[in-house]
A and B are shown apart, each in its own frame.
Chain A
Amino acid sequence: MNIKVLFFASCRDLIGSSEREMTLPDGATVTDLISRLASEQARFTDMAPSLMVSINQAYAERDAELQDGDEVAFIPPVSGG
């Protein structure tokens, strides 16, 4: 399946881009996506525990299964206001 992954703020700086198209095996979860990114960028492993994840603009848990066409975002602790 193909998904769109968005990165913001400190996470975008670490990954080096704001948006990526990624291909994952069917049945992959948020945790699988995190493992894939960590394998490419080791420091993502350190950052991941502090990140929230959203799927199609709703906060999601780590065990949530991804679907083809999903928009997934990594959300550092928010600091609006």
Chain B
Amino acid sequence: MAADVYKIQNEEIKPDALYNAVLADSDGAVTTFAGVVRDNTKGRGTSYLVYDAYRDMAEKKMREIGDEVKEKWEVDCVGILHRIGRLEIGEISVLIAISSPHRKASLEACHYAIDRLKQTVPIWKKEVWTDGGEAWIEGDPSALASR
């Protein structure tokens, strides 16, 4: 039985589990997007990242994104996972999987969902650099105008 999934978690994100959760026999496509920890920011070496979230509100806002997606496209199920805590280079920070009867809907919906997540979901990233510096990264405040 396919189902929507909206979750903030400390545990490692396993792509197969989310893929299987959103997939039903009536679907002809699943689009997945994984955000992954990169080893640098504009050339400055990254040691690791720390993510923090306002967990209850974040899960609520992710569900709102799923609801928006379903209004705009003919999709079946939406799954959004975001990890918090310390993440190493190459690990998945965010995973989105959207199923649909036909490919166009899930492809477009997935792109929309990750863009919205970066605007509205209360999650923050701290970069810890290889040179010893660290800082909370702040997104573009104007993005929230369209919250």
Contacts and interface: CB of A to CB of B under 8 A. Distances in A.
A73 B60 CA distance: 14
B122 to A, nearest CB: 5
Interface size class of B (residues with CB under 8 A): 20 to 34
Interface of A is mostly: mixed
Contact of B124 (A8, A50, A57, A73): A8
B94 A80 contact: yes
Contacts of A75: 54, 122
A76 B143 CA distance: 12
A2 B47 CA distance: 42
Nearest to B35: A81
A79 B122 contact: no
Given A78-B121, A79-B125, A80-B125, A8 B52 contact: yes
Interface of B: 35, 51-54, 56-58, 60, 82, 93-94, 114, 117-126, 136-141, 143-144, 147
A13 interface: yes
A79 B139 contact: yes
Contacts of B56: 57
Contacts of A79: 118, 123-125, 136-139
A57 B123 contact: no
8 contacts: A9-B52, A10-B138, A50-B138, A54-B54, A77-B141, A77-B143, A80-B58, A80-B123
B136 A10 contact: yes
A73 B122 contact: yes
Interface in A1-41: 6, 8-10, 13
Given A54-B54, A81-B118, 7 more contacts: A8-B122, A10-B136, A52-B141, A75-B122, A79-B136, A79-B139, A80-B125
